[in-house]
Each structure stands twice: as structure tokens, then as C-alpha cells.
Amino acid sequence: MIISGEELKDFLGAKHASPHDRLGMHPVSGNGKITGVVVRAYLRDVHTCAVVDLTTGKKYDMSKLDESGFFEKFFRGRGEIFPYEFSIKSFGGAVATVRDPYSFLPTLSQFDCHLIGKGKHRQISKKLGANFCEMNGVAGVSFAVWAPHAKRVSVVGDFNGWDGRYHPMRMLGPSGIWELFIPGVRNLSKYKYELTNANGALLLKSDPCGGYFEAPPHNASIIFDTSGHRWRDGQWMEMRAKTNWHRSRMAIYEVHLDSWMRVPEENDRPLTYLELAKKLTAYVKKMGFTHVEFMPVTEYPFIGSWGYQVTGFFAPTHRYGTPTDFMELVDTLHESGIGVIIDWVPAHFPRDTFALSEFDGTRLYEHEDRRLGCHEEWGTLVFNYGRHEVRNFLIGSVINWFEKFHVDGIRVDAVASMLYLDFSRKDGDWIPNRYGGKENIEALEFLREMNDVIHEMFPGAITIAEESTSFSGVTRSTEHCGLGFDFKWNMGWMHDTLNYFSKDPIHRKHHQNQLTFAMLYQYSENFISAISHDEVVYGKRSMLHKMPGATIAEKARHLMSLYSYMWMWPGKKTLFMGCEFGQSDEWQHRKSLDWHLLQYQDHSSIQKLLLDLNEIHGRYDFLAKFDVDWRGFEWISCDDGDNSVIAFLRKDDVGNAIAVVCNFTPIERVNYRIGVPKDGFWKEIFNGDCERYGGMNRGNFGGKHAENIPFHWRPYSLNLYLPPASVLCLTPAASG
């Protein structure tokens, strides 16, 4: 026996941190010269094992030093290592040949480790995690994980009986990365990492860079080969790369996959990715939305978190199918000309012990100081954005979604919580930055780098910030000291607008400023007018029941006037699922939308109105082109609070225009005059009182001729009939 008894004891006790120094083939020296070559293997459920010399084909029986499967063979007098494999015989008598994991060089280069340590590796998902590859013509899986403070790390899985003694990993120099190539591991094998921390305690962790996961409570990572999917979206991707989304139409349909539609005949289960590919795509295309935005599809353990407490930053959730099923969903949407945006959550992560929390026994991904590393309000942990490897992990995650899954955009959740060190913290419970301020400088640097990387690597990709404060420059370029996002949700507009529309119309005249104030900052950022899931849950009531009125019909009228105003207001649009047909109940994450409501006119009318508003935006493309350009908007009248009427122009720089006139009371306005910039016939292209929307077809008989009567500081004017609780849109006949 060449290995010492003490070394063997340490190895069998899973206390050895450098398995490649003992396992595999090594020269043996004595008296200053090589005396032979030794081969060692630790193999599970093996009765006998022999070394096969691949240069000669000869077999050499190995000595079994321990019944758990430790074998050794010493080739006395042999001076050089040689290619080999093992011929093994199981206790049942089956014979097989296997390659030795400890005979291969590392799958990560020193340069890979250097880039990860600097936070600059752009292909981290292909280096860390579990990746199919070939080494010296041998197929297998490369495992790699960052755990710098672990004393030992092993791959455990259903291929080795979840026994940490069988596949211990090696650390690659000072990088903190542990690596092992295991030949012959099959697709769909489950695995985790078994770590020994500084105190000798065992930790069992899912793979931070895992691409597929088992359902709770086990949460194992699953090896999954996505190479079989053949993308069909080349035309879409080519178009996307050439598109300036600031000047293109964006009407985004926000979707929670678990509750959009269910199958009541099958225990009310949610639709799969493949079922959604057919049904959701057809619906979104019919409704005229340009994009879907999925609430987080990154893997998460607790359904009640809606996906916002992520444990698998590189993996589509297992709940609706496999990663290739998710690819099929994206592909199908792209084939129909529909973009895919995902909610992505770098602001925090949960404390689940199987995931990132104290990953190697230390606060590795989170800050050491709880005043920086905890969101007490949410019970979650905050990433340490100042650590290079953590930034690389997060940016690698987002690259993975764009590159591997072909998503078109991300909406970054809870950006405000990242920007401010005192976010939701009491005085004395936070630490100022190095300049004494409350801005999180490291998070700002991370967000700028993230946006720069995305825009450099993926032309036409979209980044959206959910940022609820007045932080300056969220959508300004990083070159000009901004954060570099393409768009920002207009939270101020949303709060003011919903507050206004929730009031009884008789009181709205006292709150006209809630509609007009938004224009003071409308062009300070590139805004998306968003009504999201957050507005229809937790006692906030559905959009329909936010509206005043004694009957559903009255509420529907006000909701349609809100949507009409929203769609004609500048900025891109986002609307949460169910809102487009006036879902009556608040959203419930474990229950399907109430699709049966569409049999009733009030609900189907709302849906038709949204469809037509999307069609108008498609027909008059200057609306989108000037969504974030101040030249595309002009007030006609903003001060008629007594009548609760506002009027404005949406226009371009070559004379096209649409006059939008909003009457937000259930009282008709007869002979209501507005000033317009052109004479001639103004065609009525939209009327919220149309019979199609449950109205009474009251309007202006298709349009009005402008009169040579100056009004509202303009040379011409229109004398209009304003239907109650409705919006009118008129355009010069030449524009229509």
C-alpha cells in the first residue's frame, strides 16, 4: 500500500481538500528518483477494479484497500504516466469500463479564474455550474462552484448515492473555485454540492449557477442539455437588433404564468410552457400587445413569493416544464412578432439554507454587516455588489437569459431598494457611504455595468427599472452619469392617476392637478405608464372596483376612460393580465383569471376597447416615435377642472397630430370648444362612447370641420360634443 494509513483515513472521512493529489495516476519518488507510478480510485458499488492500459490494452488488477471502494495499483519501475481507464465489476457481476474523473486537467483555465475574480467573465454560465463537455474525446459534465472559504467540496448526486466521499472537487489556486469533470454523467441527473465549512460542519447546497431544479422540498439541481433546441426566431432577432425601442411601439402585457389560465378539468393545474406557447401567444397577438412581461420565471421555492425570492438565477422554474420548453415558449412568441421581457431580481435573495445564504459557511453573496446585508421588511438578504465575483454572478445571470433563452428585455425589480442604503431602515440601522451619503455607490456601479454589458452584447435589448423615487438619471446613458436603463416605470403617474379615478366624479374637479402634474416631469426620464400586479392585490381592489359607480356598467365606463387616457398619454404602456377585461376580483396567485366574465358585455367591452387602442397605436406610428420626446406633446387645455375635462395634442415634427379630449364626468358636454392648429376636417378616430364598448354612439358624426375661430391660443377650433365619461380622439383628415 503506497497511500499512508493516516491519509486513507482522512480521505475515507471526507476530510481531504485536494483529491487530485491522491486519486488518479501519479509518479512515485524515492531516494530522489521516480520508482514507479501509482493509480488510485474511489468507486461506488464496485466489487473488483482493474487498470486498463489504453496504449497496450493490458489489464492490471487493483488492490481494494477499503470495502467502501478505495482501490490502488502500484506499477513498480514504470517511469511515466500513461492513458488508462478502469474495468469494473459490480457485486451483481456486471462488467463495465469507466474513465477516471481524476485523470483530466481542469475545465477552467487560469484566465477564466482571473476574469471571474475580477468580475469580468462574460460566459460564467458556461464555466460555473454543470456543463456538458468533452475532455480528451470523453463526454461528461464539468462541475464548478465558487466557495472560497469551504474546507472541502464534493459533487453529490443520484449517480454516486449522494455520498460526498466519491466525487470530491479540487480548488483552482486562490480563485476560490472548486472544479471536477465527471465522465459519463447523464442528462437529467440530480446533484448538489456538499461543503465542509471552517468549523467542520456539512452544508448541502443547490448549484448557484444551476440551469434546472427539482421541486421543493428537495430542490436538487438537475443537469439538463438544452442543445437540442433549434431556434426559429432568426428574423425576429435580426429585426430586434435594428430597432430603436424609444421610437417604436411598446404595449406590454404583464403575465403571472401560474394564474393566467388554468385547467379546471385537471385539478385546476396551471398551463405548461408548451400550452402557454399556443394559447398565450394567440391571445397576446389578437389583443395587439407587442410584448409580454413575465413575472419572475427564475427558479424560486415559495409560490407565495410570486417568484420575487429567487434561488435559481440561471434557471427557468420547473413548475411549467423544462428549460427547452421555456425556449419553445419564447420561440413561439417571437415567431408571432411578440417580444419577451422577464422580471429579474438582483435586489435581494431569500434566506433558504439550501441556496445562496451563507453559501460556504460565510456570508459570501450577502454583506457581512446586517445593516448592509439584510432587508428586514422582506426578510431577505442583500447582495454584496462591491464583491467582484458577486457582480460577475449577477451579470452572468442576465447574460444567460439574453444569450441562452433569447429574452428581449429585463424589468429590474425594486431598484429603489438598491439605490439607497437607508431604504426601509430606521436611523442608526444603516451605514452611510464613503462620502457620508445614503446612496449605495456599489449598487450604482453594478447597475451601470449591467446596462452597459447588456447593450453592448445584445443590440436591441431592453432594460426597464422599477424605481419608485425621483432618483435622477435612471434612463440617462452611463456616458452622462446615468444608470443606463432604457425605460423606467412611471410610478408617480400611476399613483396620481389611480387616486384621481377612484374619486367620485363630483369631486374630481378639485383634483385636476393629479392629472396635469405628471407633465412637469414626463420627459425627465424615458417612462412606461404601468398598471401592474402590485395595484390589484392585498386589499387594493381590482381595477374595476377601484372605479366609482353603483353598478358594474358605471365602473366599466370609468375604467375604459382611464385606459383611453393612459393609452393616449405619452410613454410606453404596461398592463397586468386580467385588467384588460375588467377582472372583478383582486388577483390571486393560485387562481386562474376569471375568463368567464367575457360573456358579459361590460367586460368584453373593456377588452375590445384595449384591442382598438392598440390598433390605433399601430396605425399612427408617430405616437410611438414621440413617446419619450417632448416635441410629441402639447396641452390644449389643462385648466378646466370645473368640467373635469383635459385636452392635449399628440403630434410629431412634420404636422401629424391627434387631438385627445377627455371628459371624466358622467355628464355630457355640448358645444365644447377646443383650439386646434389646423383647419379642415378633423376625423373622429376613437370615441369611448361607441356602441362596441357598451356606449350609446354619442359623438360628432365621424368628425368636425375646424372653424376659423381662434381658441386656446390657436388659430382654429372645433366645436365638439363630449360624451359622458369618455375620451375622443380626432385627427386632421390628411393624417387619417
- Which residues are marked as active site? 413, 466
* Angle, CA 447 vertex, CA 442 and CA 448 arms, to 5°: 100
Residues 6+ apart with CB under 8 A from 434: 441
Residue with cell 464539468: 142
Buried b (16+ CB within 10 A) or exposed e, 679-699: eebbbbbbbbbbeebbbeeeb
Three-class secondary structure of residue 351 per DSSP? coil
User: Whole-angstrom Cα distance, residue 606 to residue 593?
Assistant: 15
Whole-number Cα distances in Å, 664 to 53, 307, 545, 726: 87, 37, 17, 7
Query: Which letter does DSSP use for residue 215 in this model?
Result: P
Residue type, 320: Y
Closest by Cα among 584, 144, 121 to 393: 121
Sheet with 681-687, edge to edge strand ranges: 633-640, 645-651, 657-663, 726-732, 681-687, 703-705
- Backbone phi and psi for residue 731, each to the nearest 5 degrees, phi listed first: -140, 145
User: Quick one: cell of 380?
Assistant: 431577505
User: Whole-angstrom Cα distance, residue 203 to residue 196?
Assistant: 6
User: Whole-angstrom Cα distance, residue 450 to residue 463?
Assistant: 10
Q: What share of the chain is helix, strand, coil (3-state, %, to 5)?
A: 30, 30, 45
From the number of C-beta atoms within 10 Å of its C-beta (0-12, 13-18, 19+), residue 89 rates as: middle
* DSSP H or E segment with residue 398: helix 388-403
Three-class secondary structure of residue 546 per DSSP? helix
User: Whole-angstrom Cα distance, residue 46 to residue 33?
Assistant: 34
Residues 6+ apart with CB under 8 A from 440: 385, 418, 419, 420, 421, 433
User: Whole-angstrom Cα distance, residue 547 to residue 371?
Assistant: 41
Residues 6+ apart with CB under 8 A from 265: none
Closest by Cα among 685, 611, 589, 630 to 308: 589
User: Whole-angstrom Cα distance, residue 541 to residue 530?
Assistant: 17
Find out whether 677 and 715 touch, Cβ atoms under 8 Å.
Answer: yes
Query: How far from the centroid of its chain's Cα atoms is residue 184's Cα?
Result: 33
Taking the CA of residue 51 as centre, how many other CA atoms within 13 Å lie in the half-sphere pointing to its CB? 24
Three-class secondary structure of residue 59 per DSSP? strand
Find out whether 68 and 45 touch, Cβ atoms under 8 Å.
Answer: no
Neighbours of 587 (CB within 10 A): 23
DSSP 435-491: TS-SB-HHHHHHHHHHHHHHHHHSTT-EEEE---S--TTTTS-GGGTS---SEEE-H
Three-class secondary structure of residue 218 per DSSP? coil
